[in-house]
Structure 1
Amino acid sequence: MRQLVLMRHAKTEGNNPGGDKARRLIPRGVQDAQEAGLALRRLGLQHALVSTAARTRETFTALGLDIPAEHLDALYMGGTDTIARLVSEVDDDITGLLVVGHAPSIPGLAATLAFRADPGDADDIGAWFPTAAYSLFTLEGSWSDLAEGIGARHEVTKRPEQ
């Protein structure tokens, strides 16, 4: 059994002179990520895929997870298919994976996976996925099954207090 956590970055500044990719977390974003990290630590995650944007890197750092992370430009620029492909390429020795990315890709993939398990959950996830929110999915097979359209069981969605 594999666990996949799809997480949207925490709350950021509205703009940055360095452009969108340089936007940083605001204090509330750091706090939200730290709180999410408390729950995520209990999952036994082993690896992370993190967008190269400043806000996702800072979110991952604030989570306080002691796991290796790959920082990938494809998570900044790519859509749901790109994320699914990247997850499908993860080594099957890893049973707990965290992906930290952006809207609309993270909520879009979460909604797609939830729809395969329960269409009612998909509407809820796709309609509202705030910053620092994450969804946990359980996959019975290989990571490669994700790219082949095999569903995952949706376990929980965490939404920080707004």
Structure 2
Amino acid sequence: MNLSLVVLFQGWVNLGKYSVYYAQHLPHKVGTNRVMVAVFNNLDAIYIPNANYNVPFGGVRVKTSEGDIDYRFEGLKINDISVFKKGELSFSLKPEAGGLDLIDFVTPYTYNFNSKGEFISVTYSEETTPKTIKPTLQYIIIVKEKLNEMYGFIVSHR
């Protein structure tokens, strides 16, 4: 009985620790970003290069060549994660809200994903009522670049 619990626990730890590898190498549905989901769902278990864990209110700060990135665990739930790149981007993972949002502070755009990592819409908001539109190829390219800024260095060290 005890041996089976140890084996189950080790399997669980392994899945979290190597989730980015599995997301990169296992087949997945076209149009989903399983690597993004793996990074943000398992941020507490994966290796983060150059991480500083002495951040007020919990989380991790990483110094990159493009600036500091803060990964914050909000509230009591480890899955409520916010990622901030100072003054430029914010990424929020809120499983109870059903998805992920990438907010670009430089432009009036928010890029919306479902919990599977599918890029579902773009919300444009200025002073008027926000408009939500379907993603075009142009937005897909922009989002890939912005997501690479947020977690590309983590994936490159896998």
User: Which structure has the higher relative contact order (CA within 8 Å, separation 6+)?
Assistant: 1
TM-score by length of 1: 0.30
* Higher Cα Rg, which structure: 2
TM-score by length of 2: 0.30
**Which has more helix, going by share of residues?**
1
**Which has more strand, going by share of residues?**
2
